[in-house]
Amino acid sequence: MTAVPSTSARRTRAGFSILRRGGASIGVVVTTLLGLLVLTFVVGRMVPADPVIAIIGDQADQAAYDRVYSDLGLDQPLWRQFASYVGDVVTLDFGESNLTRNAVSTDLARVFPATVELASAALIIGTLLGVPLGVAAAVRRDSWVDHLARVVGLVGYSTPIFWLGMMVLLVFYAKLGWVPSGGRVGIYYEGLIEGPTGFLTLDAILARDWETARSALYHLMTPALILGYANTAYISRMSRSFMLEQLQQEYILTAQAKGASRQSVVWRHAFGNMRVQLLTVIALAYCGLLDGTVLIETVFGWPGLGQYLTTALFFADMNAVLGAVLLIGLISIAINLLCDIAYRMLDPRTK
């Protein structure tokens, strides 16, 4: 006769299992971070730009060059330079920007909320439009809704985002005057709101400055709609594919045989089983928005991380470049980690 494990034994095993999975997740995160640090360190040492010249200029004498070269630790062995680099990153010390003469961490704290605000607005638009469109296209396969979803996806995938932004400015700003030229807020309202979150629209609402909030929303609308359209194309296509896959499963036929309504079959059964896949798509879309707003921020003069990174690249400001790349990498790792946690909440089978 087989002995049945006691309750305490089962709890002990469950605890060890949780610790093992948690240790594995932490190990993956640490390995990924280490790889990111190695990559950025190697890139920073391989670029042709001379960090010493970027600081002192090309007119300085050799003595000044050697002094700054030593102060930067470039005369040390590579392993010691890497150890120093890791120590600085752990303390969020990315060095000083050669362009702004501010600490890179200070610059990133200033520009990153603008990118998050734009990316979040675009993701909300893309999700609210893309998911229902993809689901409807799958449910009404080969109908006009399905053809519309395909056209939206085709145009969204094939149209360069920077070209679309320039065309929108040419038509709706230069010709019709319906949208602002660029920036985050009107010139009259710049500097009026210095809120705690860094999200200008939210800070203006919290301060009950409705004029500034209206101007911020007006400037946010156009780049967010363009990025949101690109995300709508991606999310609707993936939603359609996921829904088609679920509608062909046997449990759908069982639910229909039991008399479940069409709405219940689609949204309760099929959509409920594609949530985890859809969450992955939305998370990847958000990561892509955070590091892919470079072009649209440049076109619309949006003072975010993308424009900051572009300017730093043009002026060979490697401290700023590496700091921005590291920040994007850290945010991507954090989003993926949150997705893993959400998987276990949405799908008990992953536990």
What is the pLDDT, as a whole number, of residue 1?
A: 47
Match 């800070």 to its residue by tokens. 203
What is the pLDDT, as a whole number, of residue 125?
A: 92
What is the pLDDT, as a whole number, of residue 11?
A: 56
Match 């469109």 to its residue by tokens. 133
Please give the Cα distance from 100 to 89 (Å, whole number): 20
What is the pLDDT, as a whole number, of residue 123?
A: 92
What is the pLDDT, as a whole number, of residue 10?
A: 56
CA atoms within 13 A on the CB side of 293: 36
Amino acid letter, residue 348:
P
What is the pLDDT, as a whole number, of residue 298?
A: 83
Domains in the chain with CATH codes: 12-90 (no CATH), 110-350 (1.10.3720.10)
Q: pLDDT under 50 in the chain at which residues? A: 1-2
Of 334, 328, 338, 320, give the one whose Cα is nearest residue 98: 320
Please give the Cα distance from 251 to 229 (Å, whole number): 34
Residue range 185-219, pLDDT digits in tens: 877 777 777 777 778 888 888 878 888 888 888 88
> End-to-end distance of the chain based on CA atoms, in angstroms?
30
Q: What is the DSSP string of 124-143?
A: HHHHHHHHHHHHHHHHTTTS
What is the pLDDT, as a whole number, of residue 128?
A: 92
- Collapse the DSSP code of 36 into the 3-class scheme (helix H, G, I; strand E, B; otherwise coil) and give the result: helix
What is the pLDDT, as a whole number, of residue 207?
A: 79
What is the pLDDT, as a whole number, of residue 90?
A: 77
- Answer for the pair 133, 232: CB distance below 8 angstroms, yes or no: yes
What is the pLDDT, as a whole number, of residue 93?
A: 78
What is the pLDDT, as a whole number, of residue 320?
A: 82
Of 345, 241, 341, 233, give the one whose Cα is nearest residue 288: 233
Compute how many other C-beta atoms are within 10 angstroms of the C-beta atom of residue 265: 20
- Answer for the pair 340, 25: CB distance below 8 angstroms, yes or no: yes
Which residues share a beta bridge with 103? 96
What is the pLDDT, as a whole number, of residue 244?
A: 87
